[in-house]
Amino acid sequence: MYAVVRNYSGSGAKQLFDLLDERKAEVESVIRSVSGFVSYSLIRTDDGGVTVTVCEDKTGTDESVQVARDWIQTNASDLGVNPPSISEGRVALLLS
């Protein structure tokens, strides 16, 4: 398995997470369509938030980064959100 962490902070990040929270069903539909989807978490922080996507392989996490970027561009471009910092890698342990 492979995971990608997107950390959104700065300008527009809190507003983005308000919007993501309001449109959970749509976000779920978009993320679940990603190839090899395993899990997704949306985590609010003091200055914005973090998303964590786990997929069967890197192809899926790369796709998740693209669909997230596309969704934000289509639905939240007016918020002026800074691009997220991205960390990714092979999952060593996944508990749920």
Q: Does the pLDDT value for residue 96 go beyond 90? A: no
Phi and psi angles of residue 32, each rounded to the nearest 5 degrees, phi first: -65, -20
Read off the amino acid at residue 32. Answer: R
Phi and psi angles of residue 40, each rounded to the nearest 5 degrees, phi first: -150, 140
3-state secondary structure of 79: helix
Res. 64 pLDDT band, cuts 50 70 90: very high
CATH of span 2-90: 3.30.70.100
Quick: pLDDT tens for 70-91.
999 999 999 999 999 999 999 9
Q: Where are the domains of the chain?
A: 2-90
Q: Which pTM does this prediction carry?
A: 0.93
Cβ atoms of 39 and 51 closer than 8 Å:
no
How far apart, in whole angstroms, are the C-alpha atoms of residue 5 and residue 53? 7
How far apart, in whole angstroms, are the C-alpha atoms of residue 21 and residue 81? 16
